[in-house]
Structure 1
Amino acid sequence: MKKLILIFILLLSFCANAQNFKTHKVKKGETIEQIAKKYLVTPFDIYALNPDAKSELKLNTVLIIPSSRVKNEAIQTKNKEVIGFKTHKVRRKETLFSLSQKYNIDIEQIKKHNSRLYAENLRKGDRIKIPRYKTIINNVSYNNTLKKYKVLPKEGKWRVAYKFGITVPELEALNPKMNTVLQPGDEVNVPNISNNEEKTVEDNFNYYTVLKSEGYMALNRKLGVTKEQLEALNPELKEGGLKLGMVLKVPYDVETSLTQEESVSTNLANNLSNLNAKQIALMLPYRLNRIDVDSVREAKKAIRTNGLLSVSLDFHSGVLLALDSAKRLGISTNLKVFDTRNNASEVSKILNSNNFSSYDAIVGPLMPEHLDRVASDLKHENIPVLSPLTMPKKLYDNVFQTIPSDKLLKNAIINLVKADTLKTQVVIISDSKHKAIANELKSNFSTAKQLYSRKNKDGKEAYFIYQTDLETIFKPGKNIVFLETENEGFASNVISMLNGLNIEDQEIILMTTGINKAFEGKNISNYHLSNLKFHYPSVNKTISGNSKNGFVKAYKRIYGVTPNKYAVRGFDLTLDLLLRLASEDNLFEASSSTIETEYVENKFRYSKKVFGGFFNEAVYVVKFDNLTITEVKQ
């Protein structure tokens, strides 16, 4: 037996030397941490090659020790020292951002040596001091397996884990007191690897965090990526295989839910660092030129009959309450309101008559074609333009699409059903107009039953199905039914029959990928929708008129009515904008995909297109429950 052990040790030693590994014989009282420190590796490196050591570390056990990745050689650190100043006269359209780019210094350094800029905006003709530096180089040596790392603005757990080649659980194990959501400036323990071994998160790829028990086949079904493709993008898989919490690089067109692990709502009010007065423009189609402001009667009539005016005023009322809330946090705002009159020539006139170079953001215009005009004109000055209620025609680099896309909404409810392990059956019912989405659902749920509305004797859509079409289709347990239509009569027909088939041992849950007027008509019973626990994806959740929310109470006190969805949207979007601007130097830096914020009815988590602007990917799934609409926790 001893000889066999000796042969085994020799073989291990031979293999270790062949691959530049070492062996270590465990001594009395030694721990994995002590051994790792001795060889300048991490405990995780040792466990990867010696999995039995996790459960028990026995005396005289021979461990395989990998080569150290620690940068134990002296490295150079650079410190800057001010040696003088250059005076710069501010020209038209110059901003702090453009000056920082021109002189290759941080905005904060400009403000530091021109302290009035903390409280005032940069103006044309100002003479400011631009610091000049000399660089002092110091040599620093590291002699440990771990180091402190300061989290950067756009980094969350998965980005830090990926950067240093460890899994998310390993990062959490190294930092037992780490916050649920990392904030810029947080210091965390990470492996002390060489700079050239640190990985970079690339914008032209997507990333995915491996879940418990997920193998290559499961990832292929979920992401549509083969083992060979994953290994080509993540070479470390060939040696160590898949691990729980490992962050994988995947092709850009693969849709992942990576950020959900870090999408815990971030309270930006706890991270305010930039309390300069914010310059905001609000562009809405009030069309006040059409209203006789001297006549109360005419004004009231205009509000009742002019949809754009009504929406604009409701949104504006929410904006004003957001400014007040932000002011209580120390954020002051200079708001300038422009009436676009829903007219292209008026939008051009506004742009030609005003200098927006010092503005922190523009909210609006409301109409996509007018927003496109404003965004295009201001993109060269890098002024953020937010689309408040509609989808922009083009996502320029400076555009923020605050409404989630239909695709994101659809994927939210599909992923919810995919994650439901209790479902026994999926049924897809649609009319011919929605055949494409029905087929897409079928591709996601291959065993699903499909039904289409009947046709009349002339072969035209009749928008109904028979009771007998449904009677034998459901199974005992939970049955998910997707209904895809915009026809109220068809929706009423199907919903009524499903309600009658929703019996004790045969639960039917009704869903749709896109809510529309067909589900809100007078022939649709809310009792039936509630009984079927009707689910649908939504841009916002709905609050009760009796809510104790501070905004709702303040709104009712000022205006005497409960705020509608446009007023709430105006409040949520504006407060989020101001808090983000107060937490970073500009909106671009404050819109990391690791930050998700939530307010009264809306939430925001921005992601940036590789060649384009930012889009909100935070959506809700809501359901009817006892005649009220509640959020479904995913």
Structure 2
Amino acid sequence: MNKFFFVLCLVLLFSFGTAQAQNYSTHKVKQGETIESIAKKYLVTPSDIYSLNPDAQKELRINSVLIIPKSKVSPPKITITKELEGFKKHRTKKRQTLYSLSQQYNVTVEEIKKHNKFLYAEPLRKGDKLQIPIFKVTEVEEVNELTKTYTVLPKEGKWRIAYKFGITVKELEELNPEMGEVLQEGQILNVPNIGDEEEKEVDEQYSYYKVLPKEGFYRLKIKLGLEQTELEALNPILKEGGLKVGMILKIPYSNLANGIIGLDSYKINLVDSITDFNTKHIAIMLPFKLNRVDFDSASDTKKSIQKDPYLNASLDFHSGVLMALDSLKALGVSLKVDVYDTKHEIGEVKHIIDKNDFENVDAVIGPLTPDNFEEVASELRKYNTPVISPIGINLKLYDNVFQSRPSNDLLKKKIVNFVRADTLTSNIIIISDTKNKPVSDDLKREFNYAKQILSRKDKKGEDKYFVSKDDIQDELKPGKNIVFLETQDSGFVSNVTSILASLIQEENKQERKEAIEIVLVTTNINSAFEDDAVDNIHLSDLQFHFATMSRAYNENDNNAFVKKYKQMYNTTPNNRAVKGFDLTMDVVLRLVSSEDLYMSVNEASLTEYVENKFAYKKKLFGGYYNNTVYLVMYDDLTIVEVK
């Protein structure tokens, strides 16, 4: 039994060594060599070498041995040319044959016959006088270049080209330092010089995932639910070179459809992709409820606007729509726009659809409220007219519905994945009030080693929305602590954040105090965190992180939309006005850069405007939902995006 085990080990070791030898070679560094020169010699990129030899990035030592991956470039071709220089006379001796003469003079039998034509009809005899051709032989090695040029196709972004040629986005950028952030159709890029048969096409029936730093097969299994063998079956390149940071992996569509991860860094600028200048017809449906507005005087009208939240929201949103229409006109886009007042009544919605022709409308934006929206979407299914919801969530996703507002589940997953990906975290604490105990329990299932703290209760068992310093201090550890805070009570937010901020501790070697870092997060950002009772300095000190459907624009960026809005309305745009602008720009630019809104989902994977971004995914049986959100944090009293 022991001998059998020993032989089996030898067989496995030999098999592994053979496989490795096929995919890798080694190189001993000589005086004067650089990573660039070594990469050129073996027809690989510097990044290929660094991925297997990370220490070489710090220092390239003479006589050190580097692991060199197998080149993706085809091996050099050798072309042999022969030039006739003259002849040598030969008299055939006994036992000599044409074959032995061909070996003696390094020529072929056919070449001897060609210059001694009698041999085609007669056999070789002793004493025959022959002319043996003498050739000048030249070998030409056609060395393939490491790169070749590639012309960017319509709608192609960096990640698609990187995937096609089996490299990371970073490697593509290294090959093309001047390529820019957004690729243009027809742009010429340098790409690895692999054969056409080795190029991979992006299959829209799959999703694609960008490998993050420090991610191995185990972490990918947890995040994507895929075994190493499954990933290797979909991505054979993994068997050759293993995982590399930034590489693009093909994964089953359902993984991304569930919102696990997105390729958020690859935005498409649709302004540069306008191809259709035919007039597009869109409709805007909003609950202005103008029938209830008092127009007797300016003051009465103002009171009506202030009193009616639907009218207020509709006017804000519509002001952004008007700004978008103006910008689109400047781009040469031709539009027919119908604006309807739904009056927040299903009866009025039915009346609008019955009395107007929607068969040739390219897209409908609105209504705002779920019941009115569902009525429009249901009625317009027969025309396959896309209907886009500006603010609704958990909508009935008919196959013509586009839910532009990301789901709450996606916001939660964004934060959970952020915490899960942080390998420096030493401790996780979940603080919640009684109402959010179910959320706390869900997080506990995600992070089973986390500690739970509930707000204190009075003698009657009612929640008092506070915790003591000791409640939290006892659960903190030296190093990095991530604290979830789940509540909709502003007083509780104020109580917890002030305690947490006081417990942050810098390292003090003299007093033998270890550093305590605290990062605050929440799965549900709400008005409680924005209340005046909450100190923003505390939120900044705690590096408060949260996921949001839209990010606040920075007034210092001198944004053209914000600047023009101020000039026109004498005020800064609120988030409803910005949403009106962003959504209208996105819908129309998708219409004029693709065959229709449905096709644009595949061709424009991610778009971004002033405060909002859109990356639509289709439900297997149903419509489309926005599958991208922002991760932001408080940094020095400013909310910034976390890249």
Normalising by structure 1, report the TM-score.
0.71
Whether the aligned pair in 2 keeps the contact of 1:620 and 1:631 (CA below 8 Å) is: no
Residue correspondence of structure 1 range 228-627 to structure 2 within 5 A:
228-238=229-239, 240-254=241-255, 255-263=259-267, 266-391=268-393, 393-420=395-422, 422-504=424-506, 505-543=515-553, 548-592=558-602, 595-626=605-636
Query: CA deviation digits over 1:363-402, x for unaligned, max 9?
Result: 1111122222222333343332211122261223332222
Whether the aligned pair in 2 keeps the contact of 1:464 and 1:493 (CA below 8 Å) is: yes
Whether the aligned pair in 2 keeps the contact of 1:153 and 1:592 (CA below 8 Å) is: no
Q: Is residue 2:642 matched to residue 1:633? A: yes
Residue correspondence of structure 1 range 59-208 to structure 2 within 5 A:
151-153=152-154, 155-163=156-164, 168=169, 178-186=179-187, 188=189, 199=200, 201-208=202-209
Amino acid of the structure 2 residue aligned with 1:262: Y
Aligned to 2:97: none
Aligned to 1:89: none
> Once the 2 structures are TM-superposed, how far is the Cα of residue 295 of structure 1 from its aligned partner?
4.0
Inter-partner Cα distance in structure 1 for 2:562 and 2:246: 41
Amino acid of the structure 2 residue aligned with 1:633: V
> Once the 2 structures are TM-superposed, how far is the Cα of residue 212 of structure 1 from its aligned partner?
5.0
Query: Which segment drifts farther, 371-380 or 254-263?
Result: 254-263
Amino acid of the structure 2 residue aligned with 1:319: V
Aligned to 2:137: none
Tell me the secondary structure at the aligned position of residue 263 of structure 2. Answer: helix
Whether the aligned pair in 1 keeps the contact of 2:293 and 2:305 (CA below 8 Å) is: no
Tell me the secondary structure at the aligned position of residue 547 of structure 2. Answer: strand
Aligned to 2:509: none
Tell me the secondary structure at the aligned position of residue 590 of structure 1. Answer: helix
Whether the aligned pair in 1 keeps the contact of 2:285 and 2:365 (CA below 8 Å) is: yes
Query: CA deviation digits over 1:510-531, x for unaligned, max 9?
Result: 2211112332345433443344
Aligned to 1:97: none
Inter-partner Cα distance in structure 2 for 1:289 and 1:160: 55
Tell me the secondary structure at the aligned position of residue 259 of structure 1. Answer: coil
Aligned to 2:81: none
Query: Which segment drifts farther, 432-441 or 365-374?
Result: 432-441
Tell me the secondary structure at the aligned position of residue 340 of structure 2. Answer: strand
Query: CA deviation digits over 1:537-589, x for unaligned, max 9?
Result: 21222246787433333323322322221112212222233333333343333
Whether the aligned pair in 1 keeps the contact of 2:458 and 2:464 (CA below 8 Å) is: yes
Amino acid of the structure 2 residue aligned with 1:393: L
Whether the aligned pair in 2 keeps the contact of 1:259 and 1:594 (CA below 8 Å) is: no
Amino acid of the structure 2 residue aligned with 1:387: S
Amino acid of the structure 2 residue aligned with 1:224: G
Query: Which segment drifts farther, 561-570 or 604-613?
Result: 604-613
Query: CA deviation digits over 1:73-103, x for unaligned, max 9?
Result: xxxxxxxxxxxxxxxxxxxxxxxxxxxxxxx
> Once the 2 structures are TM-superposed, how far is the Cα of residue 238 of structure 1 from its aligned partner?
4.3
> Once the 2 structures are TM-superposed, how far is the Cα of residue 180 of structure 1 from its aligned partner?
3.7
Tell me the secondary structure at the aligned position of residue 260 of structure 1. Answer: coil
Whether the aligned pair in 2 keeps the contact of 1:206 and 1:256 (CA below 8 Å) is: no
Inter-partner Cα distance in structure 1 for 2:168 and 2:557: 42
Whether the aligned pair in 2 keeps the contact of 1:388 and 1:402 (CA below 8 Å) is: yes
Change (3 A) 1:530 1:195: closer
Amino acid of the structure 2 residue aligned with 1:435: K
Change (3 A) 1:460 1:593: farther
Query: CA deviation digits over 1:11-54, x for unaligned, max 9?
Result: 99xx89xx9xxxxxxxxxxx999999xxxxx868xx99xx99x9
Inter-partner Cα distance in structure 2 for 1:426 and 1:220: 22
Amino acid of the structure 1 residue aligned with 2:486: E
Inter-partner Cα distance in structure 1 for 2:405 and 2:218: 35
> Once the 2 structures are TM-superposed, how far is the Cα of residue 158 of structure 1 from its aligned partner?
3.1
Query: Which segment drifts farther, 313-322 or 487-496?
Result: 487-496
Query: CA deviation digits over 1:418-476, x for unaligned, max 9?
Result: 44455443221112432343244334445432212234444444433232212232234
Change (3 A) 1:210 1:622: closer
The total of aligned residue pairs comes to 535
> Once the 2 structures are TM-superposed, how far is the Cα of residue 284 of structure 1 from its aligned partner?
0.3
Normalising by structure 2, report the TM-score.
0.70
Inter-partner Cα distance in structure 2 for 1:300 and 1:460: 43
Structure ID, larger Rg: 2
Share of identical aligned residues, percent? 48
Tell me the secondary structure at the aligned position of residue 597 of structure 2. Answer: coil
Whether the aligned pair in 2 keeps the contact of 1:542 and 1:601 (CA below 8 Å) is: yes
Query: CA deviation digits over 1:220-261, x for unaligned, max 9?
Result: 244332223323444554455434544323334435535134
Amino acid of the structure 1 residue aligned with 2:413: N
Amino acid of the structure 1 residue aligned with 2:390: P
Change (3 A) 1:162 1:550: closer
Whether the aligned pair in 2 keeps the contact of 1:622 and 1:629 (CA below 8 Å) is: no
Unmatched segments (≥5 aa) in structure 1: 1-10, 20-30, 37-41, 57-62, 73-142
Query: Which segment drifts farther, 339-348 or 408-417?
Result: 408-417
Tell me the secondary structure at the aligned position of residue 206 of structure 1. Answer: strand
Tell me the secondary structure at the aligned position of residue 622 of structure 1. Answer: strand
Whether the aligned pair in 2 keeps the contact of 1:499 and 1:531 (CA below 8 Å) is: yes
Whether the aligned pair in 2 keeps the contact of 1:535 and 1:621 (CA below 8 Å) is: yes
> Once the 2 structures are TM-superposed, how far is the Cα of residue 335 of structure 1 from its aligned partner?
1.7
Change (3 A) 1:386 1:65: closer
Inter-partner Cα distance in structure 2 for 1:324 and 1:540: 23
Aligned to 1:227: 228
Inter-partner Cα distance in structure 2 for 1:144 and 1:380: 56
Tell me the secondary structure at the aligned position of residue 242 of structure 1. Answer: coil
Whether the aligned pair in 1 keeps the contact of 2:264 and 2:628 (CA below 8 Å) is: no
Inter-partner Cα distance in structure 2 for 1:490 and 1:68: 61
> Once the 2 structures are TM-superposed, how far is the Cα of residue 302 of structure 1 from its aligned partner?
1.4
Q: What is the Cα-based RMSD across aligned positions, in Å? A: 4.5
> Once the 2 structures are TM-superposed, how far is the Cα of residue 310 of structure 1 from its aligned partner?
0.5
